[in-house]
């Protein structure tokens, strides 16, 4: 089957293309870079490696009640949490109305009261008072680069204010991003959390950082086995990506 563009559109924030291949449906923001990918045979499968690595954050919060996703894309991560953790309230924040509508139409977002999508910038959302979260996923990207928001001086401090005391934050960093700004952001994470973990992604220039309070790592293999059985995602193998 030849790749087929099934949707193309543009709003003031981004250009969007949805392209079907023989096995997958891919989301692009006006470039050849795949922003999100969904298996046509299973809309809840986690295709892209960087998303699999980000979901390792659930090793440290394996029973999340509330999860916040800054940046929606095709909704891979909130769909995963919504499906496998039936107690979890999943809130996604996305600045582009077109991205939200595209994800709803083409990427099988659940129509459910536990799956909330809010059209607002991440910065404006963080100014609000809301329920404290177990885990926050920061995945903010433009068509060809990481958004500027995570490198702002107080961005992660505001994220931390939305987390429970033992909450976990995970950030998808583009390795080629401006070094000075990203180093400052990493130092900010270091100052806010007792422990910051670095996780390598092999298939793309993504680098995943997890900020959390210190935990007993002896139980991680047991947690990985539990999550692998629950979700089908191979947490046991993915654990090898974790570096302190």
Predicted pLDDT of residue 110 = 97
The answer on pLDDT for 229 being more than 90 is: yes
Interatomic CA distance for residues 118 and 97, integer angstroms:
9
Are residues 22 and 1 in contact, defined by beta-carbon separation less than 8 angstroms? yes
Interatomic CA distance for residues 48 and 156, integer angstroms:
25
Interatomic CA distance for residues 204 and 200, integer angstroms:
9
Q: Among 80, 32, 111, which Cα is nearest to 232's?
A: 80
C-alpha dist (Å) from residue 213 to 85, 150, 166: 22, 20, 6
Q: Can you give the residue ranges of every domain in the chain?
A: 46-243
pLDDT in tens, 76-95: 999 999 999 999 999 999 99
pLDDT in tens, 115-164: 999 999 999 999 998 899 999 999 998 877 788 898 888 999 999 999 99
* Residue range 46-243 in CATH 3.40.50.150: yes
The answer on pLDDT for 1 being more than 90 is: no
Q: What is the mean pLDDT of residues 52-64?
A: 94
pLDDT in tens, 150-209: 888 899 999 999 999 999 999 999 876 657 777 888 888 999 999 999 998 988 888 999
A 10 A CB-CB count for 239 gives 16
- What is the value of pTM for the model shown? 0.95
């Amino acid at each position: 089957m030849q790749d087929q563009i099934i949707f193309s559109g543009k709003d003031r924030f981004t250009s969007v293309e949805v392209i079907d291949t023989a096995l997958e449906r891919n989301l692009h923001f006006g470039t050849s870079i795949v922003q999100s990918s969904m298996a046509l045979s299973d809309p809840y499968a986690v295709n892209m490696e960087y998303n699999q690595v980000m979901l390792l954050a659930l090793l440290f919060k394996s029973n999340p009640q509330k999860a916040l996703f800054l940046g929606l894309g095709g909704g891979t991560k909130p769909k995963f949490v919504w499906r496998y953790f039936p107690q979890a309230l999943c809130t996604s924040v996305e600045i582009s109305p077109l991205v939200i509508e595209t994800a709803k139409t083409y990427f099988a977002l659940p129509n459910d009261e536990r799956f909330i999508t809010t059209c607002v910038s991440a910065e404006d959302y963080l100014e609000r008072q809301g329920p404290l979260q177990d885990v926050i996923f920061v995945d903010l990207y433009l068509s060809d680069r990481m958004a500027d928001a995570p490198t702002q001086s107080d961005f992660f401090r505001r994220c931390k204010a939305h987390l429970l005391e033992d909450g976990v934050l995970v950030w998808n960093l583009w390795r080629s991003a401006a070094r000075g700004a990203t180093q400052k952001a990493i130092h900010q994470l270091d100052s806010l959390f007792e422990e910051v973990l670095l996780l390598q992604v092999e298939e793309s220039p993504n680098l995943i950082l997890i900020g959390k309070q210190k935990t007993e790592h002896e139980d991680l293999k047991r947690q990985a086995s539990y999550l692998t059985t629950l979700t089908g995602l191979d947490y046991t193998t993915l654990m090898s990506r974790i570096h302190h």
